[in-house]
Structure 1
Amino acid sequence: MSEHLGPYELLSRLGAGGFGEVHLALDAEGRTVAVKVLHPHVAADVAAVSRLAREVETMRRVGGPHVAEVLDASLAGARPYLVTRYVQGRPLSAVPVPVEDLGRLASGLADALLAMHEAGVVHRDLKPANVMMTEGEPVVIDFGIASALDSLSVTASGAVVGTPGYLAPEVLEGGAAGMAADVFSFGATLAYAATGRQPYGQGPASAVAYRVVHHEPDLDGAPEWLAPLLRDCLATDPALRPTAAQIRARLDGAPVPKARRAARRKVATVAPPPREHDDLATREWRPGQERRRESVEESRARHREKIRRWWLVGSALFVSLLAAAAREPLPEVSLFLLSAFALVVVVDAGVALFSRSPFRRGRMIMDLLGVAGAVGLCLALSTFFSTFTLALFAGTALVVGIVFLVSA
């Protein structure tokens, strides 16, 4: 049995982080969302949760295709939670690197950074794990949460505010995390995507933090058009880093890589291949866009309509059966029941064969065998039917077949 939290039905656990667990859920209208439930030790910090509640309205002003918008929040109850757009995909930390279309990734991340900073929101924990890749586009998640929950009691209870290697040096040295710190995290995330390596290496958190403060980042392998921007974003002095608007402008003026030009030509001339059906893709929903796949509520409505059509068909067969039984009750009733069964088999197979669903060899063979068997049964029984019953059966078959094939 599924669990409910407020108006949301929790379907499955997607993951967990320093501040809470993320669940795939349905809202009251049957649309998919991501519900982040705060951990008990975080929810117990009244000051931190109050600060998050004050920041929620600001966070809800951040929008765009490259951010997972905050849709709702309930922070006063025993289980505080945030609701965001559900993004289907894999985090940047789990996809092959270096990223093939680096220009597309850089532009999307720059758009997300600009949207957050224009709304006055500081992410404070931008890193590959918080960048979801969906159909080749980056979407930033969890923005504003780390910044709003930055308090001594939360940090002391086990939540990590930031990730070594992506935290700016001024933050590691105890300074405030402002928009310049997000620019540093942006540079480190993009450097990882460009080179396939952590820009400050791996190892214990203390060793990585030391290299962030005292060493230059490892940018070997970064393309020439991007390396100067990465160096500026990863400057130790926050005053020397560009703003989000300047990053966006520099990327617009940068030469487009050959791979990216080829990708653009391909998109312009070749239709993208259809995606394979899967449950998560079926339930995906993006606010402000028309859903490409039906929601759970639409699926239920479709099944209710199918049941209604079957009821109408059953009623028509029942009336025909009564008409046949009124003439010669005993043999006609038995034969008409068999013919009605044959009709159902033929219609069901016809709908399956002529529907737009992908063919499956096993199902197609079964449908063809069902049609052959049903037709053979009808031919065998036709020698016993009266003209009146044959006319009833043929008329009913014609009406039912048209209804089902048109509505399939």
Structure 2
Amino acid sequence: MSIQAPERLGPYRLVRKIGEGGMGVVHLGLDGEGQEVAIKVLHPHVAADLKARDRLTREVETMRRVRSPFVAEVLDAELVGGQPYVVTRFAPGRTLEDTVLAEGPLAAREVIGLAQGLCQALVAIQAADVHALASTVFFAATGTPPFGTGTFESVCFNIMEGRAQLDKAPVWLRGWLNRALQVEPSVRPGAQELLRLARALDPSVTTFNEGPTGTKRLGDRTRTMETFSDLLPPVEYGQAAPPPAPPQPRNPTRREERPPPYVPAPMHDRPVPHSDQRVAGPPPPDRRVVPAPTSPAPARPYTPPPYTPPSERKRYLFGSQVVGLLLLVTLVALTVMMPVMAGAVAVALALVLRIGEYLFGDLVKRRQMRGSSAADPLLALLGTPWALVKSALVTAVHVPLALLFGICVWGVLYWAGQMGVNEAAAYAAGAFAAGLFVLPGGGAPRKTVTRTLTGVLRSPGAALVAVVLVGTAALFSVMFALGQDPTWAPWRAPESVINDLASDAKQSTIGLITGLIGSLLDGLGLGWLDRLNPWS
């Protein structure tokens, strides 16, 4: 299965990637109305795991029942196709990790607000992930993970031993973290209780409250009395981190002072962690690490990814539609100027676009249902003959319909508008060209044009430039069409042909029409078709 992200998933268009984890990739997408949504697409190896699909199905079924302002609700999901995805409400902004790594730990009031919001969200969704919630708040308050950094095994050992680095957390927050980071889930408070405790947090408190029964103080750390340390090999631990520096006087006009931004150590000989373990920490003792310089270089300023507001996204979608309309206006104007040649080009263009829709439109639908496949090129090749036959048959029916529409326009302009024969015929040819795309049966060519423009115009700026360029071409085409006489080459002007045919008294109405058609076919070098006409 291909890991390349498609441009569309079902009715949604993918704009850009905004995140990635162990389960899948999250994209910013647009729905059919131009509204921004977040689309989580499972990784191919995860999508192939039936247990992972079942877990995702249960998660979606649960989240559909959640109604909370603190939780991004599930809007849609496709769980049975080749590329399962979940669509949720999009909440713009930076991640907590980006904010902390760029600006340092949050201020006390911001930490309290984050803790209360997360607790309210946890109350609203099956409330069991208290440990992870507290770890998130710890990182927001300190800029470091609660159980240290290093290999996966070392971090897991610290979690099992309950070795949370509470001495790095603010004093007023340690009691709350102590209760939520207990090893035994039964000892931790529930989400509702944790929310009550979060609402009682006070930065002015300077004492470290004892944890619940079953824990004891070991310095500034807490540790469960029943552990599994006797089952694990002894580990030599490094020296404890030095105590934090005394707080500096605050400027009353600014928010609480923060420690300097986090500066990662040099990565010369250090193994690159997995993307899901960005904040997972020091390597094991036997790994060689280049020591940090005495005076660390200042952290590079954070540059947030470009964000396009919904108004510009709507303008982008609208711009693509306007470009398609302007292209049609240009084609109609050219057909008015050169009815025969441009009309023939319009028929050929409609045929080619219809072939493209019948061939590649089905391919896109298959990819949406089961994802990309190595057999797609072969299926496209095998489907080409049927696409050609189907397109030819539909075009053979649709062209007479557009021709009838043009004749009706000619009659209205000639009889009601008192136009000349040639002038009315030129506008009728333009109506014929428009009918190939706007009359019933013209949906396939329109879809191909829309899909092509959507793939080419990938930003609001590109759409705006295309509107200006194509609009200028359409304007000049319309001006030329209105300001000069049409060119009927390689055919003669309709008025002269009608006069020649009308001179023969034997010509009936049917004979007049067939004579016009025969003359046109002769001019195009297709006179042999006229011999098949029973009325010729």
TM-score by length of 2: 0.38
Rg comparison, structure with higher value: 2
